Amino acid sequence: MTALFPEDPWIWCLLGFGVLLVGFSKTGIPGVGILFIAIVANIFPTRLSTGIVLPMLIAADLVAVFRFRGKTVWAHVWRLIPPAFVGIVIGYYGLKHLTDLNAGFWIGLLILLMIVLHLIRKSFPDWQPHQAGVALFFGFTGGIVTMMANAAGPLVTLYLLEMKLKKEEFMGTGAWFYLIMNCVKVPFGVSLGIIHSQTLLLNFVLLPVLLLGAWIGGRINHRISQSWFEWTAIVFTALAAVRLIYVNF
């Protein structure tokens, strides 16, 4: 098992890069931060990785809520939250009964599924999922995935993009949804023993890097190609997910 505070400086560099992307994704380009989840899941035991990631995501959500205050479309938040709550409970029991071995396998598959859904969305730009049943599916599935792998971002992104929100409305709406969902997950993480004083200390050590990423994201939001970052994140996330599946198969 890898130590919670790695001795290898390259691992710290990798963690720092991932945390930087988390902050950047919350204020700059959504979706890039999923690479951090894949990085942590490859460095730490897979169940523990979800507990390490969660407080960092909450910190990033708080930054995003402040950055895009007043831009939230609450109708979309309330539409997704009820089924997501149900999904979180189901994901909790699923994670409770998974070992580190099979959790790594399934988290890898879930990340690949998120990538596939993202690519499907790009292939059908005119698709508009406005029916209540579609919101139910995205919320419920997102709740399960976010509890088990903290990887619901691409799924929620798919839904919000198809709502044709303005850029800041998209960011503000997503920020509040993620913040609410991630805070709900904290008691479950404590119950599972994957959130404790040492994981919080690791988050505290990495917090300045997250704030730096959020600052960079806010500064260059309108100056950098979203497509370039999006495809780079997809490639590296896919490689990390395939490694998880291969190692834990």
Per-residue pLDDT tens for 178-191?
999 999 999 999 99
| pLDDT band per the 50, 70, 90 thresholds, residue 133 | confident
Does residue 34 belong to any structural domain of this protein?
yes
pLDDT, average across residues 157-178: 83
Distance of CA 66 to the CA centre of its chain: 18
pLDDT of residue 15: 92
pLDDT of 231 over the 50 cut: yes
Considering only 2-16, 45-59, 93-107, which range has the smallest mean pLDDT? 93-107
* Mean pLDDT across the chain: 82
Side chain identity at residue 48, one-letter code: L
pLDDT, average across residues 24-49: 82
The total number of structural domains that make up the chain: 1
Owning domain of residue 32: 9-248
pLDDT of residue 2: 47
Q: What is the DSSP letter of 249?
A: -
Does residue 2 belong to any structural domain of this protein?
no
Does residue 4 belong to any structural domain of this protein?
no
Does residue 209 belong to any structural domain of this protein?
yes
Does residue 141 belong to any structural domain of this protein?
yes
Instruction: Output the pTM of the full model.
Output: 0.81
Does residue 3 belong to any structural domain of this protein?
no
Does residue 148 belong to any structural domain of this protein?
yes
pLDDT of residue 232: 67
30 or 100: which carries more pLDDT confidence?
30
Q: What dihedral do alpha carbons 51, 44, 57, 234 form, nearest 10°?
A: -140
